[in-house]
Amino acid sequence: MQDFTHFNSQGRAKMVDVGEKPVTVRTAVAAGRVTVSSSTFALIKSGGVKKGDVLATAQIAAKHTPDIIPMCHPILIDSIDIRLTLNEACCCVDIVSEVSCTGHTGVEMEALTAASAAALTVYDMCKAVQKDIVISDIRLLKKTGGVHGDFTAE
């Protein structure tokens, strides 16, 4: 248990003390994918989903990370950018979220949560017309800042 920073000496969950970490600019980029049928894809592309504009709605689905991830610090986010791209070749919506802050702790969880929330929003907006939508490939692509250094996925 000593190697895990989110457990106290009794083995119970705790929030890590980040107060001594340096304040630096921190960024994280995450991605995900939502694969749909060709008919659902056509509805998303044309704006024909009855609930409204799928991509516009999914783009604003972020920023509640500490509410849903235990022990995740509530941090002041400087910016969140969620980009959704219609990929006709695979009938999918590709999602990239980019989050930044100036603070004591990184924003990887915020970027991953933003990508996940956007993917879940696409699902929710389209579930009336298709139940077997596939959410996949939620992953961290890049992070910068902090004592653990930078990371870029290969």
Q: Give me the catalytic one of 124, 132, 137, 150.
A: 124
Tokens of 64: 């509640």
Long-range contacts of 62-65 (CB under 8 A, 24+ apart): 62/97, 62/110, 62/113, 62/114, 62/117, 62/118, 63/110, 63/114, 64/113, 64/117, 65/109, 65/110, 65/113
81 is catalytic: no
Residue 117 CA to residue 121 CA, distance in Å, equals: 6
| 150 close to 27: Cβ distance less than 8 angstroms | no
Amino acid, single-letter form, for residue 55: L
Q: Hey, which residues are catalytic here?
A: 124
